[in-house]
Every structure is written in C-alpha cells, then in structure tokens.
Chain A
Amino acid sequence: MLSHQEKISFRQAVILFITLLYSPAIRFFPTQAAAEAKQAGWLTPLVSFVFLLLLVLVFHSFYKKHRDASWMDIICKITGKYLGSVILSAYIGWLVILLVLYTRYYAIRINTAIAPASDISFFIIVMLVLVAVVLRYGLVVFARMGEIIALLLLIGFALLFVFSTKNISIDNLTPISRLDILPVIKGSYYLAGLWAYFVVLFFFSDKIKYKEAIKNIGIKGAVFLTVMHILLSVMTIGSLGYSVTARSSLPFYMTVKNITVLRALDRIEALAVTQWIIADFILIIVFFYSILCIIKYLFKLSDTKFLIGILTILMYILSLYIAKSQFELEEFSVMVAIHLNILFGFIIPVLLLIAGKIRQQL
C-alpha cells in the first residue's frame, strides 16, 4: 500500500537509522568511550540515551502540528525563507562531509582488513556506483533493503557477541564508582554525536507516514540502541581492556579476530567485515538521498534523479580529497566532525524548537 505512494512508515525510517549507525558505532564509539571513561566506558550509552530521548521529544513537538511537512519546510517556516536557505545549505555541507568521510572510511577499512595491496579508488567506485543504481529506484526500495539488512546485522552481531563472551573479563569492566560519573558523561558526548544522525531521517519526512508514532517508536528505537551499544562496549572493552581499546583504530575487528568457536572455527572476522560493508551501504545511501531531498527543496525541482550521476562523480573526487591518510581522517572525525554532528543534530533542532515556540509556529 505504502509502496504505491512512494512512502515508508516511521518504523522503517527508524530501522534505517539503527542500520546506518552500525558502522560508525563499531568504529568510533568503543575507542572514544574507553579513552574517556576507561573501564566504565560501557555505561556511556545510558547517558547518551537521555540526549536521544530529548531529540525524539523535540521532533515529536515539531511534527505534532506539521504532520505532512518536511524538515526543510519546518526550518523555513520558523526562520523565514532566506535564513532557512542558509541553514539548509549548511546542512548540505555537513551531509556531504559525512558522506565522503564514511565512503573513505569504508574503503580504508577494506584496505586494512582484507585487501592491503589494493587501490582504495576501486572500492570507492564500486560502492558509489551501487549507491547510484539503488538511489534511482527510490526510498521505498532501500528502506525495504534496510529492513532485511538490519535483521542480518542483528543476527550477525548476536552471534559475534555470544562467541566472544568467553573472552570477556569482568575485571576489564570494573570497578565502577562515583568517580566514574564525570568521565562517563564526557564519553557519552561522542556517542550522542553519532545518534545525532536521527535528524537526517526528517529530510525526507514528507515521504514518511505515521509520524504520530515519532514518540512511541522513537523511544523504542532509543532503548534498542542503548542496549546494543552497551553490549558492543562490553564486548570490546570487556575482551581487550580499556587501554588496548582506546589505542586501537578498529577495536571491534580485533575483538572478533580473537574469537575461536569450539577450538575449530576461527577467522570469523569475515562476518564482521561483511556486516560493515552492508551497513556502510545503507549509511551512504541515506546521506546521499537526504542531500538530494534538500537540493530538490532549495531549487524547487520536480525530480533529482538526473543529478545522481554527476553527484556520484563529485562524491568520488571528494572522497579522495577529504584526507591524505587514515590518521588525518581519524583526527578530523574527533576534532571537527563529531562537534558538527552535535551542532546540526542537537543544537540547531533545539534552537529551532525554542524559536518556533516563541514565534508561536509550533
């Protein structure tokens, strides 16, 4: 029924959000949580949960009155046409940076994990061409792909967690005392920075039905994400210890590499790499689609499919241009990108909500 209207449900949108978070979360979150909160790093999702809950409630307030509007409509309604266009252009810049950052991370990860002697350009081209092909079929197609991929990721992650339990040491996760409260709050900032991608779903919110369920499904999604991220940090910090986790660029991969099942089956890191690649695919396609939605709104276009080809070439160039090395890419993520996420994902929506309430437009 919804596919005939080219619309997806809010549940499908939240599944897309959970799926797109998988890749940045396993790369970025355990390292930062261990660096900031040490052995208490596995508690950081509990604080980040409060941030996400706040964000869900902010968007619930936006869509109570403007159920069929897109995030772009709401921004322009609150701030006016010109300031709204400036904010939306800044959102394009943010999304382009994230898209090329994650495309480059995906290529480097394959290069590091399975094909060290290969040229990263090849992996970037394969991913971007695949994204361009699927984008032409529209939101409904990749939202359905997202549902299947989310299920595969969940089963894969559950298997990896169960297999890694014998490597998890309680000594690596304790002791916890009141002295850990501040480090845990500090560590939660990085995870909150990733969960700020929740805002991305609303760039195509005019194609999302059942937005009255934002609060209900959003809270369920937030609880699910909190549990998943606690398990992820228990798995990595519990297996490797906070010191190794904080110094490693791929702690999840190292944890999975240590897994041996029944002393017979090892090298199951292939499963982790496969999961990473398909999660990257969802991440890149959602960001690309959001960029197209903003361009469509700003230039009042009837369709944006004609832009997919040329923008794919542009993203390829920018993926190579974004950084010269993995070190530069990682430093950029910690020093710039995560703060941009907080700005665009939390601060701007909260400021818009306050402005909307003052101007009585919400």
Chain B
Amino acid sequence: MILFTVLVILVSAFEIMDLKSKGQRKDIAVYLGAVIVTLALGYLYLSNPNRESIAGFLTDMIGFHL
C-alpha cells in the first residue's frame, strides 16, 4: 500500500510539474481525475486482494454466479 502510494505520488509529481510549466490547466484536471481513480481502485484492491473481483461483480450483476 505504501509503495503503491509513493509510486503514484512520484509519477504524478513529475507529470504535474511538467504540465504546470506548460500552463495546461485542463490537462492537470484530467490528470488529477486519473490519479483519484487509480488511488481509489488501488486502495480498494490492496486493502483486501481476496474481495470479490471485477469479473465476479459483473457476472453477478447480470445474474450469473461464478
């Protein structure tokens, strides 16, 4: 979890600094959206890797059970 957070922060810091220097605000907003989705899904998975998978969730949703 810590390694994952550090990796996301490092990659994001590098890209955001680059985008900021070019003054691309819209790109930064899209990038932050991607960071939030990555962190949310990363924490969800890493907090319990044995929880129901995406495949299990989707098949349950359409009425099948794996």
Contacts and interface: CB of A to CB of B under 8 A. Distances in A.
Interface residues of A, number: 29
A332 B49 contact: no
B12 A301 contact: no
A311 B66 contact: no
B43 to A, nearest CB: 9
A301 B26 CA distance: 8
B55 interface: yes
B59 A336 contact: yes
Contacts of B11: 309-310, 313
Given A317-B38, A317-B41, A306 B55 contact: no
A129 B9 CA distance: 17
Given A313-B8, A314-B41, A321 B59 contact: no
B19 A310 contact: no
Contacts of A329: 55
A272 interface: no
A323 interface: yes
Given A323-B53, A324-B53, A324-B56, A306 B27 contact: yes
Instruction: Give chain B's interface residue range (CB within 8 Å of chain A).
Output: 20 to 34
Contacts, number: 89
A303 B18 CA distance: 13
Interface of B is mostly: helix
A269 B39 CA distance: 40
Nearest to B61: A336
Interface string A73-103: 0000000000000000000000001001000
A328 B56 CA distance: 7
B37 A299 contact: no
Give the one of A97, A300, A321, A336 with max B CB within 10 A: A321
Contact of B64 (A301, A306, A335): A335
23 contacts: A100-B54, A301-B26, A306-B15, A307-B31, A309-B15, A310-B8, A310-B15, A313-B7, A313-B42, A314-B42, A317-B38, A317-B42, A317-B46, A318-B54, A321-B44, A321-B45, A323-B55, A323-B56, A324-B56, A327-B66, A328-B53, A328-B66, A336-B58
Interface of A: 97, 100, 295, 299-303, 306-307, 309-311, 313-314, 317-318, 320-324, 327-329, 331-332, 335-336
Given A310-B11, A320-B45, A321-B54, 6 more contacts: A301-B30, A302-B24, A306-B31, A307-B31, A321-B44, A328-B56
Q: Which 5 A-B pairs have the closest CB atoms?
A: A332-B55, A323-B55, A314-B38, A309-B11, A321-B45
